[in-house]
Amino acid sequence: MKTIALALQPSDLAVLGGACGADSEAILLTGAPEASFGFTTIHCTGWESLPPADEAARALADLVRGADRLIAVTSMAARELVPGLAAHAGAACLSDVVEILSETRFRRPIAAGAAFAEVEVDGPVFFTIRPSGFPAAEPTGEASVADLALPAPGLERITVAAARRVGRPDLARAKVVVSGGKPLGDSETFERVIGGMADALGGAVGATRAAVDSGIAANELQVGQTGKVVAPDLYIAAGISGSTQHMAGIKDSKVIVAINKDADAPICSQADLVLVADLFEAVPALQKLLASR
Amino acid sequence: MLILVPIKRVVDPYAVVRPLPDGSGMDTAGQKFDINPFDEIALEEAVRLKEAGSADRIVAVSWGGSECEDQLRKALAMGADEALLFEAEDLDPSVIAAELQALVAELQPGLILMGKQDTDTDHGQTPPMLAALTGLPLASYAARITISGGSAEVVRETDSGEETVTVPLPAIISADLRLNEPRYIALPGIIKARSKPLTRRDRLTTAAGRTRVVAYAPPPDREPGRRVASVEELAEAIQAKGVLA
């Protein structure tokens, strides 16, 4: 079975190394690999940034046609690139696979995590995976790197590029995530209380849809069915009621901590640790205790 | 300019839906159905573009059984000029993309405005698949759309923030949450829209899906949580879990 790992960034390689079998090859779209992660060859495009997804799919189509499997780590970018590649290659396509059950059968969440579907596929299949379901590969050995020398197409379409994230870890991969909801009130308070806690623990910042919609937090921080899906060791939710859509994005967290004034909030029946308290007092106090541990 | 807006009928995204005990499907008995929320946002944007003079006709289209007429009637009430319903059972994204490809060839729309994903399968595959099949440019996850002089400027959400792209028309744009707030349509409005044309047609292609769901299972239960009485107790409990480096 010919498997291709499609890494959008170097940090995808460890996850994909764990999900792909031996003798797999990888295509790395941006950056340079730090190790082989078990891949026989890592083909590098040398792109400085990701081109528009439809252009990238067209540029990569010939390279992936004929693969029995193509696997990428889920993200907004991967979720629009992989289906395009599948359409070009005539392959089946699945989003957000959490378990590979057999050569033709896969498990994935549906309906905001209300259920898991077992899906049977015919023929080649291209899919994205959620990293939490797959143990990362060891960074073994120096990578055998091949340059693809593929021009990055369609970059002229992007007139204002997204600002690169600095400082805090990637929300989708962070070991600790501290999230806040609408009760934080305004963006300065959100940054001070939630951002402060996240920085003290070396974690990432997340937010609810309500917090994002009311302008308290940036769009890319939204956690949930339609935002980022996170799976940290520790998820601290402050002032978050726990809608189905939000819980869909945090269910794979190892430990969920809820700090909420309302003991009847849905999150209080789903979190591992619940403190019914005013977040404006509890979060800074907790930060102090954990930072001095 | 003609705008084509695909509509999917989904179970109320705010309802709690569980798998049937035998795992053969989802238990949707007694549930309300509605337009997929992202499709509704796409349609609202199409109506606003028409109101602003950037478009002169909106066609809403759905694949499924006769029950989808309810959602298409609502689409007509929101401002679509015409609705098409293609009889289909297999709603795999690759099938819908192939069907849309054929419809795009027939109608030659200037813009295909569609939801970025549905809320029942959460796949999000149809827009990029349609772009691959048609060769039309794609701007996904749109948060703002401005049409001028044969192109669309789209502010789109990405993994790391917002970027702005300009795509020549015809193009495919997929709608994200923050593009707009769809207008509310009361029942009388839906009844009034009955004078607008809703046409049922046979499928355009013989495309067959490459995936099929064979079983549905509930998610694993989480261990019951624990209430702590104080911040001190919470800090100790977090440390005892060993989740902090």
User: Are B219 and A116 in contact (CB < 8 Å)?
Assistant: yes
- The better pLDDT of the pair A113, B233 is held by B233
Return the residue of B nearest to A214 by Cα: B178
A101 in contact with B at a CB cutoff of 8 Å? Answer: no
A22 in contact with B at a CB cutoff of 8 Å? Answer: no
Closest CB to A57 among B97, B132, B222: B132
Tell me if B63 sits within 8 A of B118, measured CB to CB.
Answer: no
Q: Which two tokens stand for residue A248?
A: 């869909």
Going by pLDDT thresholds of 50, 70 and 90, the confidence category of residue A120 is very high
Q: Is the ipTM reported for this complex over the cut 0.90? A: yes
Signed CA dihedral, A216, B12, A231, A34: sign only: negative
A164 in contact with B at a CB cutoff of 8 Å? Answer: yes
B125 in contact with A at a CB cutoff of 8 Å? Answer: yes
Chain A to chain B, count of Cβ pairs less than 8 Å apart?
A: 266
User: Are A120 and B212 in contact (CB < 8 Å)?
Assistant: yes
Closest CB to A121 among B178, B211, B243: B211
A133 in contact with B at a CB cutoff of 8 Å? Answer: no
**Residue A165 pLDDT > 70:** no
pLDDT tens-digit map of A6-33:
999 999 999 999 999 888 999 999 999 9
Position B189 scores a pLDDT of 83
Q: Which two tokens stand for residue A227?
A: 């935002």
Position B101 scores a pLDDT of 98
B160 in contact with A at a CB cutoff of 8 Å? Answer: yes
**Residue A159 pLDDT > 80:** yes
**Residue A171 pLDDT > 80:** yes
A208 in contact with B at a CB cutoff of 8 Å? Answer: no
Report which DSSP code applies to A139.
-
User: Are B219 and A114 in contact (CB < 8 Å)?
Assistant: yes
Taking the CA of residue B23 and the nearest CA in chain A, the distance in Å comes to 9
Distance, CA of A215 to CA of A153 (rounded, Å): 34
Enumerate the residues of chain B whose CB falls inside 8 A of the CB of residue A279: none
User: Are A93 and B125 in contact (CB < 8 Å)?
Assistant: yes
**Residue A288 pLDDT > 90:** yes
Arithmetic mean of pLDDT, A121-143: 92
Enumerate the residues of chain B whose CB falls inside 8 A of the CB of residue A216: none
**Per-position pLDDT tens, chain B of length 245:** 999 999 999 999 888 899 999 999 999 999 999 999 999 999 999 999 999 999 999 999 999 999 999 999 999 999 999 999 999 998 899 999 999 999 999 999 999 999 999 999 999 999 999 999 999 999 999 999 999 989 999 999 999 889 999 999 999 999 999 999 999 998 888 888 889 999 999 999 999 999 999 999 998 888 888 999 999 999 999 999 999 87
B127 in contact with A at a CB cutoff of 8 Å? Answer: yes
Tell me if B123 sits within 8 A of B94, measured CB to CB.
Answer: no
Of A219, A235, A241, A256, which to mutate for an interface test with B (greatest number of B Cβ within 10 Å)? A219
Position A52 scores a pLDDT of 98
Closest CB to A115 among B119, B157, B219: B219
Closest CB to B159 among A120, A220, A290: A220
Chain B contacts in chain A segment 262-291 (CB below 8 A): 268-277, 282, 285-286, 289-290
Tell me if residue A264 falls in helix, strand or coil. coil
Distance, CA of A95 to CA of A151 (rounded, Å): 27
User: Are A93 and B245 in contact (CB < 8 Å)?
Assistant: no
pLDDT tens-digit map of A62-103:
999 999 999 999 999 999 999 999 999 999 999 999 999 999
Position B60 scores a pLDDT of 98
For chain A, the average pLDDT equals: 94
Enumerate the residues of chain B whose CB falls inside 8 A of the CB of residue A159: 153, 164-166
Position B191 scores a pLDDT of 85
Enumerate the residues of chain B whose CB falls inside 8 A of the CB of residue A233: 243-244
Enumerate the residues of chain B whose CB falls inside 8 A of the CB of residue A226: 38, 116-117, 176-177
pLDDT tens-digit map of A222-277:
999 888 999 999 999 999 999 999 999 999 899 999 999 999 999 999 999 999 99
Position B186 scores a pLDDT of 85
> Which residues lie below 8 Å from residue A273, measured CB to CB, with a gap of 6+?
A255, A256, A257, A258, B225, B226, B228, B234, B237, B238, B241
- The better pLDDT of the pair A143, A184 is held by A184
Position A209 scores a pLDDT of 94
Q: At what angle do helices B93-107 and A76-89 cross, to 10 degrees?
A: 70
Going by pLDDT thresholds of 50, 70 and 90, the confidence category of residue A164 is low
Taking the CA of residue A180 and the nearest CA in chain B, the distance in Å comes to 17
Segments of B36-148 assigned E as strands = 57-64, 82-87, 111-115, 138-148
